[in-house]
Amino acid sequence: MLHFSHPVVHPSPPVVVPPPTQGQGQAEVEMVPPAQGQAVQVEGANGDGNAPAGVIMRDPWTRCGLVFRLLQAAFAAAALAVMASTDDFPSVTTFRYLVAAASVQCLWSLAVAILDAYAIVVKRSFRTGRAVIILALGDWVTGTLIFSAACGSAAITTLLSNDFGACSVNPCASFMNATAMAFLSWLARAPAFIGNLWTAVHRIQKS
């Protein structure tokens, strides 16, 4: 893992060099790149970690977000695999919808997880105001899809098992497992959605 910001991709902040004596002109500004293996970390003016672009920042939420994204992708992939392993799901529209929603959730979570992993490697925070709003909207859309698909699949599974008693000719256990994995994927994305929404509202209020 890298412990320093590359001087080309992530330029260092200017370092103010004081004058040798008083009254001999203003301070000169020089660009001093960090030494090899030396991390540069600058806090904002208010101490809130809002360092300028190109500076290493401490963002513990990125690590937590990476864990939640991987959980979302894992549960969505499990729901997709279990439902796709049955032979009867193409005949039910709700089950096909669950497969589509789980696929979208898995792709979205993996894409954001890759961004979070890259941010951790280069020790940069990509959670700008626009990025946070995009993440919040994406979480809202994918969360709505996976939750509605899980609810519909749960209703159909309950209808087959309790009302029709057709579990002897249908893989109700697989339907239940896929539905449970879909609900777990939705629950795993709830903290990320709440965190991104809170950050977006906080940035809008500050701007």
Task: Render pLDDT for 24-76 as a digit per residue (tens, 0 to 9).
Answer: 444 444 455 555 444 444 444 344 445 444 444 455 567 788 888 999 999 99
Do 195 and 113 have their domain in common? yes
Do 65 and 124 have their domain in common? yes
Do 155 and 169 have their domain in common? yes
pLDDT of residue 22: 54
Quickly state the pLDDT bin for 206 (edges 50, 70, 90): confident
Count the Cβ atoms, other than its own, within 10 Å of residue 61. 15
Yes or no: say if 188 and 68 are a contact pair by the CB < 8 Å rule: yes
Do 34 and 110 have their domain in common? no
Do 94 and 148 have their domain in common? yes
Do 73 and 52 have their domain in common? no
Do 153 and 75 have their domain in common? yes
Task: Compute the distance between CA of residue 78 and CA of residue 51 in angstroms, rounded to an integer.
Answer: 40
The position carrying tokens 């991709």 is 9
pLDDT of residue 76: 94
Of 39, 57, 75, the residue that ends a domain is 57
pLDDT of residue 21: 57
Domain holding 21, by residue range, is 1-57
Quickly state the pLDDT bin for 183 (edges 50, 70, 90): very high
* CA 116 to the chain's CA centroid: 7
Do 50 and 79 have their domain in common? no
Closest CA to 142 of 190, 180, 96: 190
Residue with the larger pLDDT of the pair 116 and 164: 116
Do 64 and 125 have their domain in common? yes
Query: How many folded domains does the chain comprise?
Result: 2
Do 52 and 73 have their domain in common? no
Query: Torsion-angle region of residue 56: left (phi > 0), alpha (psi -120 to 50) or beta?
Result: beta
pLDDT of residue 34: 52
Closest CA to 99 of 15, 157, 179: 179
Residue 119, beta-bridge partner list: none
Q: Is the pTM for the entire model greater than 0.85?
A: no
Three-state DSSP class for residue 16? strand
Of 9, 28, 57, the residue that ends a domain is 57
Residue 94 has pLDDT above 60, yes or no: yes
The average pLDDT across 2-25 equals 49
Do 92 and 70 have their domain in common? yes
Task: Compute the distance between CA of residue 187 and CA of residue 190 in angstroms, rounded to an integer.
Answer: 5
Of 19, 36, 57, the residue that ends a domain is 57
Residues in the chain: 207
Buried b (16+ CB within 10 A) or exposed e, 139-173: beebbebbbbbbbbbbebbeebbeeeeeeeebbbe
Q: pLDDT tens digits, residue range 95-141?
A: 999 999 999 999 999 999 998 898 888 887 776 778 877 888 888 89
pLDDT of residue 52: 46
Quickly state the pLDDT bin for 165 (edges 50, 70, 90): confident
Do 162 and 77 have their domain in common? yes
Q: pLDDT tens digits, residue range 166-175?
A: 787 788 889 9
